[in-house]
Amino acid sequence: MALSRTQRPGNGVSTRWVSFFCIASFFLGVLVVNRFWTDSGSVKINEASSVLKRQRKEVNPLVNCDKDASVQEGEILSQVSQTHDVIMTLDKTISSLEVQLAAARAGKADSGEGSPMGTNSGFENLIERPKLLFVMGIITAFSSRKRRDSIRETWMPQGEDLKRLEKEKGILMRFVIGHCATPGGVLDRAIDAEEEQHKDFLRLNHIEGYHELSSKTQIYFSTAVAKWDADFYIKVDDDVHVNLGMVGSTLARHRLKPRVYMGCMKSGPVLAQKGVKYHEPEFWKFGEEGNKYFRHATGQIYAVSKDLATYISVNRHILHRYANEDVSLGSWFIGLDVEHIDERSLCCGTLMDCERKAQAGNPCGASFDWTCSGICKSVERMKEVHQRCGEGDEAIWHTSF
């Protein structure tokens, strides 16, 4: 039997060498592939790192290490503050225009003149209205001629001074009254004659009546915001003493705030018993008998900012009116983002309280007696209260808002 021999391929290369070359080629391929992946991964990592660095530079600019860190922080805060101020100013301007347009629409609707959008001139006149700090509506009645005269003789300027107050200080004041049930009757004629003499009335499209005070308040704000452009609108009773300079200074501190509702906030009991003063026929809406009202400003004097007065005007047909007008006003703001400011200087007592504060150089904004829901016997006592609790007749002219 012949011995086995190593076979050779046809070209003369042995199979052993072929196997060697195959194995060598495999390891060479593995080496090349590994080197390729290593280089490729390094490039990708470098690219990712570069992208990340660029992103960090965009988000966090290079800080000059030579500068003090506190200085750089101050500069950044200053820029942020300036940007915030610009945004707030722009927002206030847009809001003001929207409020003015809404008020104009409401006013036109009440007067039957149609929408102000019909002509450009109506909107232009609205924008050109002089800007006031506040409009003060003194709620009065047909039977209150002596009360009005007591105010004219004390804290309310008259004649040219009334016009000057509006022009120089941005304060406009009017006695607010509607009409009697019989148009053109003796009561209406008496108010017409008084208006001819003093030029200090705002007549409302409203029929006067004690149980219609909520409606009268609503119409007053709607009419005032459509007629005059002011930062605040005030309602005050005609048996309250007011220091105009102090009221103006107090309101001016809140001039840039939106949706301000200012007054002496209280939460009195809901009176369910019939026949008593301030009886609330809808007492059941406030929960169990003996509950208290939500916080609201007492009715002797309160102020609302322009946007809230406009809100009342625009929604006057669906705002519910309770028996007491101060409760009604407070209820209209429930659910709104409103700042309630409890300003106790608007409800000083007479005479010891307001006189003591006036002597200390800090006169009250408004004074009255809680027991009388106004100054007791205001016709006889208004002059005394003014002398002892007033800020001085010249104070309003020297006060800067």
Most confidently modeled of 3-7, 70-74, 111-115? 70-74
Contact between 206 and 273 (Cβ < 8 Å) = no
List the one residue out of 366, 137, 154 whose CA is nearest residue 250. 366
**pLDDT for residue 376:** 98
Contact between 102 and 115 (Cβ < 8 Å) = no
Greater confidence (324 vs 64) lies with: 324
**pLDDT for residue 96:** 56
Asked if residue 289 has pLDDT above 80, the reply is: yes
CA distance 134 to 172: 7
Asked if residue 39 has pLDDT above 90, the reply is: no
* Six token digits for residue 150: 């007591």
Asked if residue 117 has pLDDT above 50, the reply is: no
**Across 107-111, 130-134, 280-284, 359-363, least confident range:** 107-111
- Model confidence at 114, pLDDT cuts 50, 70, 90, reads very low
The amino acid that residue 98 corresponds to is: E
**For 309-332, what is the mean pLDDT?**
96
CA distance 67 to 86: 28
CA distance 348 to 350: 7
Greater confidence (329 vs 59) lies with: 329
Asked if residue 118 has pLDDT above 60, the reply is: no
Using alpha carbons only, what angle is made at residue 135 by residues 150 and 121, rounded to the nearest 5 degrees? 135
**pLDDT for residue 72:** 60
Asked if residue 94 has pLDDT above 70, the reply is: no
Contact between 225 and 167 (Cβ < 8 Å) = no
**pLDDT for residue 23:** 73
Number of H helices, E strands in the chain: 13, 9
**pLDDT for residue 211:** 77
Asked if residue 276 has pLDDT above 60, the reply is: yes
Most confidently modeled of 6-15, 182-191, 245-254? 245-254
Asked if residue 49 has pLDDT above 70, the reply is: no
Q: What is the mean pLDDT of the chain?
A: 82
**pLDDT for residue 21:** 67
CA distance 224 to 206: 14
Q: Is 339 helix (H, G, I), strand (E, B) or coil?
A: strand
Q: Look up the pTM and report it.
A: 0.72
- For residue 377, the Cα-to-chain-centroid distance in whole angstroms is 36
**For 33-58, what is the mean pLDDT?**
49
**pLDDT for residue 76:** 65
CA distance 245 to 242: 9
Q: Which residue has the tokens 């006889």?
A: 380
**pLDDT for residue 401:** 87
Asked if residue 1 has pLDDT above 80, the reply is: no
**Across 102-111, 184-193, 285-294, 361-370, least confident range:** 102-111
Q: Burial, 252: exposed, middle or buried (Cβ in 10 Å; 0-12, 13-18, 19+)? A: middle
**For 231-247, what is the mean pLDDT?**
98
Number of neighbouring beta carbons within 10 Å of residue 120: 9
**For 94-121, what is the mean pLDDT?**
49
pLDDT above 90 as % of the chain: 63
pLDDT above 70 as % of the chain: 68
Contact between 133 and 399 (Cβ < 8 Å) = no
**Across 7-21, 37-51, 239-253, least confident range:** 37-51
- Model confidence at 260, pLDDT cuts 50, 70, 90, reads very high
What ranges make up the beta strands (E) of 244-287? 260-266
CA distance 127 to 131: 9
Helix H or strand E segment including 190: helix 186-198
Number of neighbouring beta carbons within 10 Å of residue 67: 10
* Beta pairing, strands 339-342 & 201-207: unpaired
Q: Burial, 194: exposed, middle or buried (Cβ in 10 Å; 0-12, 13-18, 19+)? A: middle
Contacts of 193 (CB under 8 A, 6+ apart): none
- Model confidence at 51, pLDDT cuts 50, 70, 90, reads very low
- CA dist 311 to 80, 129, 200, 306, Å? 32, 20, 26, 9
Greater confidence (264 vs 89) lies with: 264
What is the tens place of the pLDDT at every residue in 157-170?
999 999 999 999 99
* Six token digits for residue 376: 């007791």
CA distance 317 to 109: 12
